[in-house]
Structure 1
Amino acid sequence: MIKYNRVLLKLSGEALAGDKKTGFDEETCIGVAKQVKQLVDDGLQVSIVIGGGNFWRGRTSQTIDRTKADQIGMLATVMNCIYVSEIFRYVGISTEIYTPFQCGSMTKLFSKDSVTSCMKKGGVAFLAGGTGHPYFSTDTATVLRAVELDCDIILAARNIDGVYDSDPKQNPEAKKFDQIPMQKVLDDKLGIIDLSATVLCIENRMPMLLFGLSVDNSIVLAAKGKSNGTIITI
């Protein structure tokens, strides 16, 4: 049984790239689409934000102006949503792509009413372009949209299977949390999401479930409250 009524699914761009680390792994994307279709068919309302890390990591550049780097990142998320939206349509899901800025005929301008209508009709709404402003990450855009759309929870699918007390790639003894308060994430500077997104979650009481995308049936398990990831409580 699905635990939630409406969720925002945050997909890591890097996780969608699979072992290639860049671009898309089509098999991974089709697997995601099939899982979401199962949930939508069961009545779950789903919106999706996709990070742009499989194409662009502008903050690491010392030569490009931050505003321009962030604008490139916004467009990377638009490309991601166009591609993944088509994969969703391939498996039989109706989709719409929304951006906070005009993007020709490729997307629709974001509005809460339009996105809510899409989800209530059984479609999946892709929320591309971040907040539309520089200096805000897709983490912040994710929380902002989840709050705005009255979502029950953010389901964050990444290439790591939960929240740890230190980097498990650097520390083999790192401890994984089954559950952790968002305030502790902030106080201990765990860096799971950026500062503005963390504060926005706390202020608006928006919980999050962080889990590994590569785990079999991970999205379905997350939506049913059976994930082995980390619940970040408020």
Structure 2
Amino acid sequence: MTTKILSVGGSIIAPDKPDTEFLNNFIAMARRWLGEGNDRRLIFVSGGGAPARVYQKAYGDVLEKSGGNIQNDVADRIGIMATRLNAELLKACCADLCRDEVVCDPTADISFSGKILVASGWKPGFSTDNDAVLLAEKFDADTVVNLSNIEKVYTDDPRHNPDAKPIDEICWKDFRKIVGDAWTPGKNVPFDPVASKKAEELSLAVICASGKNIENIKNILDGKDFIGTKIAG
């Protein structure tokens, strides 16, 4: 059985509200790919997107005005609930292809009886990128495809540094210099630092690509040339 892991960023599922055009096209592509072989299955790991940002900001604003201290674990839990909302939406859109409940703990005894399994965030301390890595370990997948609103990883944030260059391929050692080692809720990096460390330990490959380029996602699944950044080695 070939299992592919797609970590679907919340910025793709719900950039400000659920993107129904994306969901239609994404699920149609998944059905097409799954229909091309009986030994194929997919795992979708859902990010939090706008609901996570909006509710985390509300929490921060209230605590700031009341003089309280913002707790990272609390902010993470709020974000995790947003990932579960998006995951339930993804599962519902997959209909007959996803027979099992949304996975909230990637280390649990997981039933995978359909062609698609949907997972959400698990617990504070990291993003859903780490959940995707743990699921790849559990189901013997050698690659995680990380889909977001960026087409490639850059040497620096191109929004602030005009000299930042896109990267086609990079080793984990060099990539981890870019993202650092520490996780904070809502941290805006191409791949979570905690997940990056675990992926390097597992010798797992991660491909970062645009979630809106549906044909490019299928090219990745098919092992064809693609637009994106491969992190490995």
Q: Taking structure 2 as the reference length, what is the TM-score of the superposition?
A: 0.81
2:231 maps to which residue? Answer: 232
2:104 maps to which residue? Answer: 100
1:79 maps to which residue? Answer: 85
Over the residues paired in the alignment, what is the CA RMSD in angstroms?
Answer: 2.3
How far does residue 11 in structure 1 lie from its aligned partner after superposition?
0.4
How far does residue 110 in structure 1 lie from its aligned partner after superposition?
4.5
How far does residue 210 in structure 1 lie from its aligned partner after superposition?
0.7
1:50 maps to which residue? Answer: 46
Task: Encode CA deviations 1:53-109: one digit per residue, 9 max, x unaligned.
Answer: 2211338836253333222222211111111122222xx6344333336xxxxxxx9
Tell me if the contact between 1:168 and 1:174 (Cα under 8 Å) persists in the aligned partners. yes
Residue 85 of structure 2 aligns with an amino acid whose one-letter code is M
Tell me if the contact between 2:25 and 2:214 (Cα under 8 Å) persists in the aligned partners. no
2:212 and 2:192 map into 1 onto residues whose CA distance is 23
1:37 lines up with 2:37 in the alignment: no
Residue identity over aligned pairs, in percent, reads 24
1:205 and 1:16 map into 2 onto residues whose CA distance is 28
Residue 227 of structure 1 aligns with an amino acid whose one-letter code is F
1:223 lines up with 2:184 in the alignment: no
2:94 and 2:162 map into 1 onto residues whose CA distance is 37
How far does residue 163 in structure 1 lie from its aligned partner after superposition?
0.9
Residue 172 of structure 1 aligns with an amino acid whose one-letter code is P
1:67 lines up with 2:67 in the alignment: no
Number of residue pairs the alignment of both structures matches:
211
Unaligned 5+ segments in structure 2 are 64-69, 181-188
1:147 lines up with 2:151 in the alignment: no
1:169 maps to which residue? Answer: 159
2:42 and 2:33 map into 1 onto residues whose CA distance is 9
Instruction: Say which of 115, 119, 125 aligns to 1:127.
Output: 119
1:178 maps to which residue? Answer: 168
Residue 161 of structure 2 aligns with an amino acid whose one-letter code is N
2:201 and 2:164 map into 1 onto residues whose CA distance is 29
Q: Taking structure 1 as the reference length, what is the TM-score of the superposition?
A: 0.81
1:105 maps to which residue? Answer: none
Task: Encode CA deviations 1:166-188: one digit per residue, 9 max, x unaligned.
Answer: 11222333211111111110124
How far does residue 216 in structure 1 lie from its aligned partner after superposition?
4.2
1:189 and 1:73 map into 2 onto residues whose CA distance is 20
2:184 maps to which residue? Answer: none
How far does residue 27 in structure 1 lie from its aligned partner after superposition?
0.8
1:157 lines up with 2:137 in the alignment: no
Residue 86 of structure 1 aligns with an amino acid whose one-letter code is A
How far does residue 6 in structure 1 lie from its aligned partner after superposition?
1.5
1:65 and 1:125 map into 2 onto residues whose CA distance is 32
2:71 and 2:178 map into 1 onto residues whose CA distance is 30
How far does residue 14 in structure 1 lie from its aligned partner after superposition?
0.8
Residue 25 of structure 1 aligns with an amino acid whose one-letter code is D
